[in-house]
Structure 1
Amino acid sequence: MLGISVSFTSKVEDFVAHDGPKLSYTHKQLGDEMHINAVDLLFEQGIMDVDIQVQDWEGVPCFFASKNIDAALPYDIFGATFYLLSRYEEYLPHVKDVLGRFPANESIAYKHKFIHRPVVDIWMLRFKEMLLQAYPDSLQKIATFKIGVIIDVPQAFAYRKIGFLRTLGGYGRDFINFRLKQTFNRTQVLLGLRKDPYDVFSWLVNVQKQATTRFKLFFELGDYTEESKNIKYSKRSFQSLIKMVGDYSCVGLFVSKSASQSITVLKEEKKRIEQITNRPLKQARISDYRITLPYSYRDLLDQEVTEDYTMGYPDTPGFRASTCTPFLFYDLDYEIQTPLLLYPFCIHVNAIINSNNQTINRVSFEAIRNTVKEVNGLFMVAFSNADFINIYSKKIFRTLITTDE
């Protein structure tokens, strides 16, 4: 994260003989070097229950307290960071939600009330200050605050191009449930008297032309099921839409539920989007945030996907991995760092809009945005194309794209 080149040694004699800047990460300090007192976590194999005691360090939560009073930091910054970024707690026994996912309220960040803060980035900045005091000439990269917008497209059109049988079934359901307004809207769209409510793509492209932030849109290309209701991927009009959007914004795959459970289906969906875009697939998001570690990410790696944008909670604003900086996925079972880069998002727009009283939780929105700006991180917000029916989603969207980076 700091961009500093380092070399490692486990030989005490080589470490002692080194004349330049050096830092020991051990249970015991070796000399007068800068020292981080290590807990056992990074020296262990396998996954074990870990005792977490969260403490306050000058206003910032931390854990894995140091037993050495001469240590440079009062806790093990490397062990604590690894615990959060590897999502260690998601491998341990926990209560899943109704969709079988790891819920926000099971996380240490939620339980100890620091889910709204990217504590890893805050720790990193304090570590940076410590290094600069000890080694003023150490080279470090300068991070800048960035804004990211991701838009899911699980269903490109609400009424158009969905086929005769589905249209007929839609009219039937509206009639049975006395949804007269929806029947009227459907009829107007099909007669060409108004635009399909989900069809916001021309508007997005026009906004994209003026925006400095490049949007990322994720299209679902799965077969029709009860949970996957996009139009058929082979329709030329749908393929033309994806190509048109891809000329201005980044296009990725919105992995369907079936594909998230079957590597064979995932392979087929990857093939479909690559044939449409004529580009290798690099970016993906998993529908309904059905991440099961490490298997979900292993499947993406198997298909040579290099970027994932699912790391976050759909119903709780905050930081699932306690960071607003992209990081490489570490497979705890195999004990390897993988080439899959995880881009964390911190807000799904639906989590800060109250549909009942038609309000936006701007306090949470601004608080999270400001804390990301303080650490020069990535402020990533997630939408779906259907969200733009809501005027409040559009307000948040405009706030993002008009904000100076």
Structure 2
Amino acid sequence: MLAIKIPSTFIPERNYVIRQLLGELLGLSYSVHIHETNLSMDYTIIALPNGRNLWIRDVFFSQFKDGEVYWHTDVSKIEVKDWHHDAAPEGSLPVLFGEAVLRVDEGDLICEADLLAGVFFMLTRWEELASSERDMHGRFPLKSSLAYKYQYWKRPVVNETAEMLWNLLQLIGIEQERRAASFEMVITHDVDDLAYWGRKFRLLRSLGRTCLQMQPVEAYRVLQNYVRVKRGQEQDPYLTFDWLMDISERIGVQSRFYFMSGGISEYDNRYAIKSKACQRLLKHIQHRGHKLGFHPSYHSFTNKEQFIAEKLRLEEVAQCEIDEGRQHYLRFDADQTWRIWEEAGMKLDSTLGFAEDGGFRSGICQAYQVFDVHNRCELTLREMPLTVMEVSLVGYLGLSPQDMLDRMNDLQQKVRRYGGQFVLLWHNSNLSGRTWDPYRPIYQSFLLEGDVKSEQRRSSVIRASRTLG
């Protein structure tokens, strides 16, 4: 067992990071102790049974008195160093705090980079409390992040840090076995709309738009589709649920459908959760063995009462416990949203992804336990970060179908490398129509023709093969 000695300040924060890195990601046995003297207070020390130690510099938290608010830090002044070292699984590692230096001293390794504080920075998202930058939907923008400034938002840097720690521990002779991790494909669908022709005035708006654009052929196609759907001769363009479940079943995974059940904004209430059609659909999804989840409305990310009322309404209709989901429009407040989910009895959130692009908003490609920085405590809620959303690649970046497939495959390779969870969001309503028709084959190709199916069986975490020095 490893013996870990930590400074006597910010103990909840330090324990949290150690648990995530050494316990959750590496699966190592350890015990934590407080430094008995002030001689080594500037370091966290990981002591091996063989008498050798890994010293990790404490740079960030040593600046503050115990419990002092640290998220007023000017993040723009943080200079990230690119640490090139053989122990880094990708050849280099972004260092947010401290110096990119590793020394050897009488058999011990002295790491001058505060790797632990860097992980805490990423997982807790306190960076978003330190910034007032928000987009039109009140979201923290990708371009305001340190990860964007230093170009590492497409890297799971927390996983990379765990691997680097493992490699350093190997250098000083660790004998424990680490936990193996398996790649997992997680397919999610936010149900913003239930049926294309279910909303009032959809036909008039569609015909009006095509007429203004002088597209009579398209106007005829729209009218024909409307008539055929209403007569029961064609499936509504948004009723893609069976098609989605068919593909998921072919690769041996559940689809997760996150339903809305209320709201007070123009972005909400596109269908009635208590309608007979919706009730039939919920039962059908459950009957096929797939997962129901919650898609809280636009304003609920800072409104606990509204959140709970909507959750209870969904559970009443679904007649089952609902314990996972994702916020509408990926709206997230680093001080409030997780706490609301915790108090509402939710177990798994999958909101944390940037709307503007795929990647790793919290620097990790596995579900992890979240930390409430305001109350300085761990929650039972776990975050399963969103890897990529189809709207990010098509709506925000305007990628062609092939470029979209390439981008998703690139992200999937990175997740697979660390035995992580690739969390895909593809709305049921984005599989047909002039914009989305070319991308429907991409969804199918990505899941059925790539390496996803074989990798579902097992994919072990990276093992460094290079000689470490």
Query: TM over 0.5: same fold?
Result: yes
Residue 149 of structure 1 corresponds to 187
CA contact (8 A) 1:25 1:36 kept: no
SS of residue matched to 1:305: coil
Label 1:363 to 1:357 Cα distance change in 2 as closer, same or farther (>3 A).
Answer: closer
Among 410, 426, 442, the residue aligned to 1:367? 410
Among 124, 127, 141, the residue aligned to 1:86? 124
Please tell me whether residue 342 in structure 1 is matched to residue 383 in structure 2. yes
CA contact (8 A) 1:223 1:232 kept: no
**Superposed CA offset, 1:207-244 (max 9, x none):** 33322222211011115752124321111221120121
Coordinate RMSD, CA, aligned: 2.7
In 2: Cα distance, 1:197 partner to 1:272 partner: 27
Label 1:143 to 1:175 Cα distance change in 2 as closer, same or farther (>3 A).
Answer: closer
- Cα deviation, residue 291, structure 1: 0.5
Label 1:252 to 1:154 Cα distance change in 2 as closer, same or farther (>3 A).
Answer: same
In 2: Cα distance, 1:122 partner to 1:397 partner: 30
**Superposed CA offset, 1:30-56 (max 9, x none):** 996321111132755312315422111
- Cα deviation, residue 111, structure 1: 0.7
Unaligned runs of 5+ in 2: 1-24, 85-91, 212-218, 456-469
Label 1:263 to 1:208 Cα distance change in 2 as closer, same or farther (>3 A).
Answer: same
CA contact (8 A) 1:329 1:341 kept: yes
User: Partner amino acid for 2:158?
Assistant: V
Please tell me whether residue 189 in structure 1 is matched to residue 212 in structure 2. no
* Aligned residue runs from structure 1 range 192-203, under 5 A: 192-203=232-243
Among 170, 173, 178, the residue aligned to 2:202? 170
In 2: Cα distance, 1:371 partner to 1:172 partner: 45
Please tell me whether residue 35 in structure 1 is matched to residue 32 in structure 2. no
In 1: Cα distance, 2:431 partner to 2:247 partner: 13
Please tell me whether residue 26 in structure 1 is matched to residue 42 in structure 2. yes
- Cα deviation, residue 143, structure 1: 1.0
Among 43, 48, 64, the residue aligned to 2:97? 64
In 2: Cα distance, 1:361 partner to 1:245 partner: 28
Of the structure 1 ranges 265-274 and 219-228, higher mean CA displacement relative to structure 2 is found in 219-228
* Aligned residue runs from structure 1 range 235-274, under 5 A: 235-247=275-287, 248-274=289-315
Residue 7 of structure 1 corresponds to 31
CA contact (8 A) 2:263 2:298 kept: no
SS of residue matched to 1:35: strand
**Superposed CA offset, 1:342-393 (max 9, x none):** 0012211222337686553333222222122222211111110011223424
In 2: Cα distance, 1:7 partner to 1:329 partner: 21
In 2: Cα distance, 1:344 partner to 1:395 partner: 22
SS of residue matched to 1:337: strand
In 1: Cα distance, 2:102 partner to 2:167 partner: 20
Please tell me whether residue 400 in structure 1 is matched to residue 440 in structure 2. no
CA contact (8 A) 2:197 2:226 kept: yes
Label 1:12 to 1:334 Cα distance change in 2 as closer, same or farther (>3 A).
Answer: same
CA contact (8 A) 1:213 1:401 kept: no
User: Partner amino acid for 2:135?
Assistant: D
User: Partner amino acid for 1:239?
Assistant: Q
Among 284, 291, 301, the residue aligned to 2:342? 301
Please tell me whether residue 112 in structure 1 is matched to residue 150 in structure 2. yes
Please tell me whether residue 352 in structure 1 is matched to residue 378 in structure 2. no
Please tell me whether residue 228 in structure 1 is matched to residue 268 in structure 2. yes
In 1: Cα distance, 2:136 partner to 2:245 partner: 36
CA contact (8 A) 1:189 1:196 kept: yes
**Superposed CA offset, 1:319-354 (max 9, x none):** 101111111111111111111100012211222337
Residue 55 of structure 1 corresponds to 81
Among 334, 353, 371, the residue aligned to 1:312? 353
User: Partner amino acid for 2:68?
Assistant: Q
User: Partner amino acid for 1:312?
Assistant: G
SS of residue matched to 2:186: strand
Unaligned runs of 5+ in 1: 17-23
Label 1:158 to 1:91 Cα distance change in 2 as closer, same or farther (>3 A).
Answer: same
Q: What fraction of aligned residue pairs are identical, expressed as a percent? A: 21
- Cα deviation, residue 290, structure 1: 0.9
User: Partner amino acid for 1:399?
Assistant: F
Of the structure 1 ranges 299-308 and 368-377, higher mean CA displacement relative to structure 2 is found in 368-377
- Cα deviation, residue 11, structure 1: 4.2
In 2: Cα distance, 1:97 partner to 1:111 partner: 17
In 1: Cα distance, 2:399 partner to 2:377 partner: 46
Of the structure 1 ranges 26-35 and 190-199, higher mean CA displacement relative to structure 2 is found in 26-35
User: Partner amino acid for 2:384?
Assistant: Y
Label 1:256 to 1:397 Cα distance change in 2 as closer, same or farther (>3 A).
Answer: farther
CA contact (8 A) 2:401 2:442 kept: no
Residue 45 of structure 1 corresponds to 68
In 2: Cα distance, 1:217 partner to 1:194 partner: 23
Number of equivalenced pairs: 391
Label 1:274 to 1:386 Cα distance change in 2 as closer, same or farther (>3 A).
Answer: same
CA contact (8 A) 2:302 2:340 kept: no
CA contact (8 A) 2:126 2:334 kept: no
Of the structure 1 ranges 276-285 and 330-339, higher mean CA displacement relative to structure 2 is found in 276-285
CA contact (8 A) 1:246 1:277 kept: no
Of the structure 1 ranges 232-241 and 30-39, higher mean CA displacement relative to structure 2 is found in 30-39
Of the structure 1 ranges 332-341 and 275-284, higher mean CA displacement relative to structure 2 is found in 275-284
- Cα deviation, residue 308, structure 1: 0.1
In 2: Cα distance, 1:352 partner to 1:177 partner: 25
Among 131, 141, 146, the residue aligned to 2:169? 131
- Cα deviation, residue 265, structure 1: 2.1
Please tell me whether residue 328 in structure 1 is matched to residue 349 in structure 2. no
In 2: Cα distance, 1:175 partner to 1:362 partner: 32
Label 1:400 to 1:137 Cα distance change in 2 as closer, same or farther (>3 A).
Answer: same
